[in-house]
Structure formats: C-alpha cells, structure tokens
Homo-oligomer: A and B are copies of this chain.
Amino acid sequence: MPPRYSSSLRGRLYWAILGLQTTFILVFLFCFHHNYTVDVNSLDLYPVFQDVNVIVILGFGFLFGFLRKFGFSGVAFNFLIAALGIQWAIIVDTLLFKDTTPAIGLTSIYTGLMDVIPVLISSGIILGKVNPLQLIMMTAIEVPMFSINRYIMLNQLKMEKQVSMMHANMFGAYFGLAVSWLITPPSVNNKFNKEKEKTETISELFSVLGTLFMWLFWPSYNALWITSNTERRNAIYNTYFALAASTVTVFSITTLLNPWAKLQMNLIRNAVLAGGVSIGFTAYMLQHPWIAMTLGLLAGLISTLSHRYLQGPLNTVSFVHDTCGVHYTFGLSGLLGGIAYALLILTADYSTIGIIGFQAVVGVGCICLTLALSLTSGLMTG
C-alpha cells in the first residue's frame, strides 16, 4: 500500500505532471522537426533497442519493487519517471547536441532511453524516502545534468560516444547517494530503514524476474551505441562472459558468508549485474575473454563483500542510506570499470599518452561533477 499524501501535494502532483506533459508537446510542436537522415540503421537496431527497453521499463521496475511497502509504487513510479524522462531527455539532448536545426528521429528515442537510466538508478537509492513530486523534480534536474556531463566528455575531452553513455551507471549511483545524504534525517535513520527493508517472498520473486531480464539483456545495453559491427560483436561477447563470471562468483561468496549456506537473494540480486556494469566501458575493445571474466569476478567480489560489510557502517557513520544497495552494484562496479578502462588504454598504447591522460581524468572528473551537481539538486528537493 503506497503512503497517502496530503491533499495539497496531490493537487500539486496532478498539475506538475500534466503541466510537464503539455509543455513537452508544445516544445515538440514549435521547436522540432522530424529528420530521416538521423535514422540510418535505426531499424536494424530495433531488436537491440527493445532489449534495452525491457531493462528500463520492466527490469528496473521489478528490481527495485522488492520492498513490500513500496512494491506497487516502485513499479509505478519507475514507469512514470521513464515515460516523463524519455521525453525530457529527447528535448534536452536534441537542443544540446544539435548541429544546425534541432531534428529528431527514431534514434532520439534510443538516446532518450539511455539518458533516463541514471535517473532510475538514483531513484532506487532514495525509494521510499521521497514523495512523487520530489522524484519528478529529481528527474527534471538529473537528465540535463547527465546530458551536460556527456556533452563535456564528447566535445571537450573527445571521448567516444559509447564510452560516454556508459557513465550512466556511475552517474546515477553517486547522484542518488548525494541526494540521499542530504534528505535522510539522521535521527530516524535506523529504525525507519529497517522497517522499509522488510521484504516478502512474492515481491522477492518478482524482483528475481526483473534481475533475470536485466541479466539477459545487459549485453544489448552495452552494445546499443557501438557503431562498428566487429566492436558490437565484441561487446556482446565480453559482456556475456563478464556476467557469467560475476554470477558464479556471487553464488560462491554468498555461500561462504551465510552460516547455513542459504542463498541470500538480496545479495545475489544486486551483485549478478555487477559484472555487466564493470565491463561497460571496455567491452567493445577487449580482445581476450579472460580479461572480461577477471573483471566480472572482481566486480562480483567487490559488490558482494561491500554490500555485506559496508552497508551497516556506512549507514551509522555517514547517514547516507541506500535503500536498494544500488551503490554496490552500479557505483563501485562502474568505478572498477573506469579504472580498468584507464589501465587498458595505458597498457595498449603508449604513443598517445596525452589523450590517455585526459581520458583517465574524465572518469574522476565525471564523479566530481556529479557530486557537485547532485548536492545542489539535493538542496532543491529538500
């Protein structure tokens, strides 16, 4: 049962949603035209896009819908944010990355879908701590911030598009943590959180369903933005190996951690994806699957162990609370992937050290940027 909101919030929520939708339609009416030249190869990618669509609408919805009290609202708000966010992301993206006139096409929807992923990751951290209006405000701020982030990486730091897209995982996780840090009142923290983290077998099964869909279609997510066919093949191939290795590792670690060797679904659910996240930056260029598997193994290890041992202390000390354990799946694994990316480029090619320095800096710069921006947004939502 979702919480009952006050009458004034209800009225504001109603107008906020409808007002945004009307504004979006007006922007599309007056600013955009449809351009077929944007859409080269877009139909070939349609099945891959549908896989990512399943990840975004269904996967995130059910993955974060595993808390009993927020089961329904988890799925519903994920859906609302995605539907609103995609339109907003298309507007922001088209205006920011336009050449001469703002033109949109089927590819714009693909981009919009990717831009909405950080928002959904962030919402997993603060689920149950904010009201819907705050979630919508967060969406309104986070989407352009991530676009600006990508714009800086693409135009200033000459990053490749597919790599810039993959910062979504890390951006979402640290943005969400910063918001969570500001809005969680320290005093009620512990009691409040315990109650919210109760789960139920049924919603647990739905959550497993969401996880499995994300696991299945994660190779598509890592491959959608790659233009070369050989590199896309590489990305699918390496992501699959990384996911398999991280899954096996997570099962092994959870067996060890639990005194009765019971499989702990909450750990497994979060950690099996870690391999896919960690390989995001490098999947397209790895030549040897053993590197992908090693990354997957490390990501599984880090994600599971940190979830098990860090969540308690982090909550007590820093008052940063992470409802769904998002930090361990998307944050740390993304960080690991970024480090691996920098290392791999350094070992691969010594001649262009200047550019490489830039690229390594980008990973760190991105996080700093994110944290700074998220503090502002946190204050606004709070």
- Complex CA gap A42/B362 in Å reads 34
A191: CB under 8 A from chain B? no
Chain A residues touching B, majority SS: helix
Between A2, A5, A28, A47, the greatest number of chain B beta carbons within 10 A of the residue's beta carbon is seen for A28
Within 8 A of B (CB), among A237-273: 237, 240-241, 243-245, 247-249, 251-253, 255-256, 258, 260-263, 265, 268, 272
- A50 to B212 CA separation, bound complex (whole angstroms): 13
Interface check A48, CB cutoff 8 A: yes
Pick the contact of A43: B17, B57, B233, B288 (CB < 8 A). Answer: B233
Instruction: Determine the distance from Cα of A219 to Cα of B120 in the docked complex, in whole angstroms.
Output: 22
State whether B25 touches A294 (Cβ < 8 A).
yes
Query: How many copies of this chain does one complex carry?
Result: 3
A244 touches B87 (CB 8 A): yes
Q: A21-B245, A212-B61 are in contact. Are A80 and B251 (CB under 8 A)?
A: yes
Say whether A148 faces chain B, with CB atoms less than 8 Å apart. no
Which of B36, B206, B212, B240 meets A230, CB within 8 Å?
B36
Measured CB to CB, the nearest residue on chain B to A287 is B34
A196 to B87, CA, bound (A): 38
| Docked pose: A18 CA to B293 CA in angstroms | 13
Partner of A212, one of B57, B212, B237, B272: B57
Please state if A58 and B216 are interface contacts (CB–CB under 8 Å): yes
Closest Cβ–Cβ distance, residue A243 to chain B (whole Å): 8
Q: Are B261 and A10 closer than 8 Å at their CB atoms?
A: yes
**Contacts of A21-51 to chain B: CB distance below 8 A:** 21-22, 24-26, 28-29, 32-34, 36, 39, 42-43, 46-48, 50-51
Q: Of the 9-residue stretches A69-77, A330-338, A367-375, which lies at the interface with chain B?
A: A69-77
Residues in B neighbouring A21, C-beta threshold 8 A: 245, 248-249, 252, 293, 297
Q: Is the CB of A33 within 8 A of B288?
A: yes
In the bound assembly, the distance between CA atoms of A46 and B52 in angstroms comes to 14
A-B contact pairs, 7 of them (CB 8 A): A10-B261, A34-B289, A57-B216, A58-B213, A58-B216, A73-B263, A80-B251
Beyond contacts A14-B255, A18-B248, A54-B216: 14 other A-B pairs, Cβ-Cβ < 8 A, are A17-B251, A20-B248, A24-B245, A26-B290, A43-B232, A50-B51, A50-B220, A58-B212, A83-B245, A83-B248, A87-B241, A105-B233, A106-B233, A109-B240
Q: Which residues of A contact B (CB under 8 A)?
A: 1-2, 4-5, 7, 9-11, 13-14, 17-18, 20-22, 24-26, 28-29, 32-34, 36, 39, 42-43, 46-48, 50-51, 53-54, 57-58, 61-62, 71-73, 75-76, 79-80, 83-84, 86-87, 104-106, 109, 202-206, 208-209, 212-213, 215-217, 220, 229-230, 232-233, 236-237, 240-241, 243-245, 247-249, 251-253, 255-256, 258, 260-263, 265, 268, 272, 287-290, 293-294, 297
